[in-house]
Structure 1
Amino acid sequence: MSRSLRKAYNLSPKISIIVPIYNVEPYLHCCIDSILAQSFTDFELILVDDGSTDQCGSICESYKGKDDRVRVIHQNNQGVSAARNRGIEASKGDFIGFVDPDDKIAREMFQQLYSAVSHTTIDMVICPILTINVVKQTRTTSQLWREVNRPLLNETITSDIIPSMLRQHRSYSIYSCNNKLYRRALIRNKNIWFEEGRQHSEDVRFNFRLLPFARSIIFIDSTAYLYFVRPRASLTQSFRTDLFDYIADNRRFNESLCKRYGDIQALKTVRHVFILTSLNFMQDVVRSDLALEKIRAILSTIMEDEEFKKNIADCTVPSPYYKLLKWLCMNKRIELFIKVVKAKATLYSVMGKAG
């Protein structure tokens, strides 16, 4: 049935595509154009302007005036999770897809995704993500689960896929919400939403909570979502000083999953990842242009954390350098930790210039 006939009979679209938007004016046209150019046309595009202070709101309205599939929601700034949730609330499609406003999608993406789920009991379809790093000039494609192009039932999801994600620390292209179609009824009936106020790993948590309720999912081997890693103004602007709170919270969440699925090996992996992620964040803090007292305070908070102290003692680290960082943390040598990280950064800078 044509789009005009569907509108005349007040029929819902097959897909609702939700784009949460906040101050991305340089990239927004490219994103929206790639969606409106889809070979699959039976969709509504919900643009959620989350209190942008640039011209994003006006850009959204201009597209609304050009294409009757575009709906625009303006709200005060509440964060990406709240924007996505507002889009879900407003959605009318049988399926929901998400696109970030500084990315773009291949012309066939939603045709390929919808073809995999229509007329079936599949609740989620997943495709790989092509990451384009414009700084390093590299391209990488995310991996999928080993079985593609055929439905995987709930037993496989809960017995194999989720435990493997935890045990192997693999995403199988599941972490992100942007490379998927979700059956809207699954989200609404199970009352699972993005955690509002959360600024890190919000889509990972959403998917981990939703997956156990899916009747079946399917992976398709068609790389159609293009995720861009762009230049950062400064390291201080690109990371949250309270990121350790999120890292620790992710550990607690993942530990609860491991216990639910009774996987002791996965529990060890979760704690190992917690320590390595914490050490990497601590290095970012030292390399930032934060005031020295702020750097010391953040490092001290982490080194004094009881779970950090307990888990770092049992963690097997990957190199002599990380063994040194481990020893410095266990002995709370904050000043020496700072000197070691800065010395490594200086050495790499000299080697880079020499090369």
Structure 2
Amino acid sequence: MRREGKIRFSVIVPVYNVEKYLPLCVKSVVEQAGDPDWECILVDDGSTDTSGAMCDAFAAECPGVMALHQQNQGLAGARNTGIAAASGEWLLFLDSDDEWAPGMLENLRAGLDANPGFDWYVARYLSLDEGDGTLSAPAAIDFVPGPFESDDYAARVKRLYDSAHWSVWKFCLRRQFLLDSGVEFWPSVVWAEDYPFDLLLLLHCKKLCFLDLVMTHYRENRAGSLMNSNLPKHFTGILAAQRGFAQVFAEGECLPAQRNEILRRMANAFWPEARAAACRDKAVRQACAPLIDQCRPLFDHGDQCRGRADWVLFRLLLKLFGAKFALWFCGRLKGKR
């Protein structure tokens, strides 16, 4: 049910076949302490389990919770639907198998009040182990609290990505800023849909503020999650992002340096998936090879393929002989280790 009065925060929760996790997710929102200045928009994206009915039950019982239903459009499409329905000053994103940290909204209110004047705030997160339920800080990140401003697009991307990976569930975005930018999630990007959104939005934002608070408990390695779905789907998403950015480039919306940075970051998403497809499983190789060949515009970009000798060899084989041979050859090498 929609709240009366001013809404400060709109949290958008895409829901698809998560009946096991959805109660914990919603509970983490409705039990936040402080003012009832939030709305929680559950977007049922054509669930085939009881998740849709659960959304309706939560909306009927919990003030501030709304339930929307649509035919399946994927995570990106569900988020766009939530954004269109939001009324808050600030947009927050929460995946339905994750949870907010206790006291997060109180800390966020204080962080926004203490650091005014930004359209984009970035917070921390903790990894939630699916097996034993323990929480841990993510490794290999460089989160530096405080304001950051730069006219250099690549520097903005680096600072954002150094703070953790690309997921939007650690962002707090001014809703009007997002609407004015015209940036949306691309529904055709069916895997890692967050990074095109980030890269596009950074074209419109020269300053960010990094808040030293934990926003999300991110559930890792859940069976059936998008991050653990099949490899061909990953390449389908990468190709959709490649086509989307090709259109952006054709429309002249990026300077050459910005274009090169976007290609670099896209390639950094591509290379680990391509290396994973170089395996002993013939069916996986056959499904992925034609998709990888279509990613040829990324072959000359990215960081991973310029380091270790086996990665350099893999890139060379892809360029000279195509994906079918490169996946087979490097898959055999993996099997001999």
Give the TM-score, by structure 1 length: 0.76
Question: Quick one: distance in 2 between partners of 1:327 and 1:235?
Answer: 30
Compute the displacement of 1:21 (Å). 0.3
Question: Quick one: distance in 2 between partners of 1:64 and 1:94?
Answer: 21
CA RMSD of aligned residues (A): 3.9
The structure with the larger Rg is: 1
2:15 equivalent among 12, 17, 21: 21
Question: Quick one: distance in 2 between partners of 1:236 and 1:145?
Answer: 23
Tell me, what secondary structure is at the counterpart of 2:213? coil
Does 2:8 match 1:11?
Answer: no
Partner of 1:163: 154
Kindly provide the amino acid, as one letter, of the partner of residue 102 in structure 1: D
Partner of 2:43: 48
Unaligned runs of 5+ in 1: 1-5, 348-355
Does 2:105 match 1:113?
Answer: no
2:317 equivalent among 320, 325, 328: 328
Partner of 2:93: 98
Compute the displacement of 1:20 (Å). 0.6
Partner of 1:298: 288
For residues 52-71 of structure 1, what are the structure 2 equivalents within 5 Å? 52-71=47-66
Q: Residue 337 and residue 89 in structure 1: after superposition, are their counterparts in 2 closer, same or farther (change >3 A)?
A: closer
For residues 1-355 of structure 1, what are the structure 2 equivalents within 5 Å? 10-40=4-34, 41-118=36-113, 120-134=116-130, 139-141=136-138, 143=141, 146=144, 148-150=145-147, 152=148, 156-157=149-150, 159-160=151-152, 162-166=153-157, 170-173=161-164, 175-214=166-205, 216-232=207-223, 238-247=229-238, 250=241, 253=245, 256=249, 260=254, 263=257, 267=260, 277-287=269-279, 291=283, 295-296=285-286, 298-299=288-289, 302-303=292-293, 306-308=296-298, 311=300, 317-332=306-321, 334-335=324-325, 337-345=327-335, 347=337
Query: Is the Cα contact below 8 Å between 1:20 and 1:84 reproduced in 2?
Result: yes
Unaligned runs of 5+ in 2: none
Question: Quick one: distance in 1 between partners of 2:180 and 2:253?
Answer: 26
Q: Residue 24 and residue 298 in structure 1: after superposition, are their counterparts in 2 closer, same or farther (change >3 A)?
A: same
Kindly provide the amino acid, as one letter, of the partner of residue 73 in structure 1: L
Kindly provide the amino acid, as one letter, of the partner of residue 338 in structure 1: W
Identity of aligned residues (%): 23
Compute the displacement of 1:245 (Å). 5.0
Compute the displacement of 1:84 (Å). 1.2
Question: Quick one: distance in 1 between partners of 2:227 and 2:166?
Answer: 25
Give the TM-score, by structure 2 length: 0.79
Kindly provide the amino acid, as one letter, of the partner of residue 29 in structure 1: P
Q: Residue 233 and residue 39 in structure 1: after superposition, are their counterparts in 2 closer, same or farther (change >3 A)?
A: closer
Question: Quick one: distance in 2 between partners of 1:331 and 1:88?
Answer: 45
